Chains A and B, each alone.
Chain A
Amino acid sequence: MKRNDWKLIGGILLIAVVFLIGFRSFEKREPGKIRVTVEGTVFGEYSLEESQDIPIGKGNVLVIRDGKADMIDATCPDRLCVEQKPISKVGESLVCLPHQVIVTVMDGENRDTDALAK
């Protein structure tokens, strides 16, 4: 029965690789822009080229420095968002689940309707 296990693991691994390649192959090489959404609505979009400090809502602070965005402070209990490394590539994101804040580096086009004004 252990033999089948390896096939299963191999299959799952393959799926993961397929996703990885699929996602990466749609990257564009333009100066990055990030989009911040809070609780499902777009909070703002910022260029990664400009160094700036961005306070977000109830208790998150985002900074942009050297072309990367990083969460440097948060009042949520686990502060996982602060621990995440700075992002700069398309598709990378910083997430604060308790505050429902998402910071993502945008694709070149607005392909997703991932923000709705409510």
Chain B
Amino acid sequence: MKRIVHFGMFTALALIFSYVESLIPISLGIPGVKLGLANLVIVLVLDRMEVGQVYLLAVTRILLAGFLFSNLSSILYSLAGSLLSVTVMYFLNRTEKFSIVGVSVAGGVAHNVGQLVVAMTVLETLQLRYYLPVLIVAGIVTGLLIGVIASEMLVRIRRGNER
């Protein structure tokens, strides 16, 4: 029961992050480059939930956010990016060789690469490959940002739990 409540909370949180992000009019002009604020939630729960639940959270969030704030085709790309991202992060996390920052970076990069690959498949063109370097760097940057935030948050949460 507690798990269901937590799941609902985290999903709602991720949804709100998505919404807030959609309000920010910043764009690099390259499709698929976003802050990935909702990934903060994914990164935070990675250790606490079974991987199946994490996938479910990601998918639920994307579907809800997509129907509420966005359009059908972007849902497809987000799903592709997120599924790859969660997979990569899960395996990297299991090895216990990287901190949450590294995991988040890998997740960010995987997210962007996944979106690019799906875009190339849907549009049936290889020309989009030229975006790869930029998207990888963007993934590193956003992954770093989210990873650092998550890591700082966890430190403070743990301190709070010790009282």
Counting chain A CB atoms within 10 Å of each CB, the highest count among B29, B31, B97 belongs to: B31
Mask of B105-128 contacts with A, CB within 8 angstroms, 1/0: 110010000000001001111111
- B49 interface residue (CB < 8 Å to A): no
Q: Given A19-B132, A77-B71, A1–B98 Cβ distance below 8 Å?
A: yes
- CB <8 Å contact, B29 and A20: no
Whether A16 touches B132, Cβ cut-off 8 Å, given contacts A77-B71, A80-B31, A102-B125, is yes
CA distance A84 to B131 in the complex (A): 13
Q: Considering only CB atoms and an 8 Å cut-off, how many residues of chain A contact the other chain?
A: 34
Q: Which residue of B lies closest to A84 (CB)?
A: B29
B87 at the interface (CB under 8 A from A): no
A92 in contact with B130 given A84-B30, A98-B71 (CB within 8 Å) = yes
Q: Which range contains the number of B residues in contact with the other chain?
A: 35 or more
> For the complex, is B137 an interface residue (Cβ under 8 Å from A)?
yes
Residue from the list B105, B128, B130 in contact with A12, Cβ < 8 A:
B105
Asked if A8 and B129 sit within 8 Å, CB to CB, the answer is: no
Question: Contacting A114 at CB < 8 Å: which of B31, B126, B136?
Answer: B126
| Alpha-carbon distance between A68 and B130 when the two chains are bound, in angstroms | 18
Least CB distance from B73 to A in Å reads: 6
- B interface secondary structure, majority: helix
A95–B128 contact, CB under 8 A? yes
Beta-carbon contact of A2 and B123 below 8 Å: no
Whether A112 and B132, one on each chain, are in contact in the complex, defined by CB atoms closer than 8 angstroms, is no
Expressed in whole angstroms, the Cα–Cα distance for A23 and B133 within the complex equals: 10
- The listed residue (B29, B125, B137) touching A83 by CB distance below 8 A is B29
Task: Judge whether A4 and B97 touch: CB under 8 Å.
Answer: yes
Chain A residues near B31 (CB-CB < 8 A) = 80, 95, 97
- Which B residues are CB-close (under 8 A) to A104? 125, 127
19 CB contacts below 8 A, A to B, read A1-B96, A1-B99, A4-B99, A4-B102, A8-B98, A9-B102, A9-B105, A13-B136, A16-B136, A19-B132, A20-B133, A40-B124, A77-B71, A80-B30, A95-B123, A97-B73, A102-B123, A102-B128, A112-B126
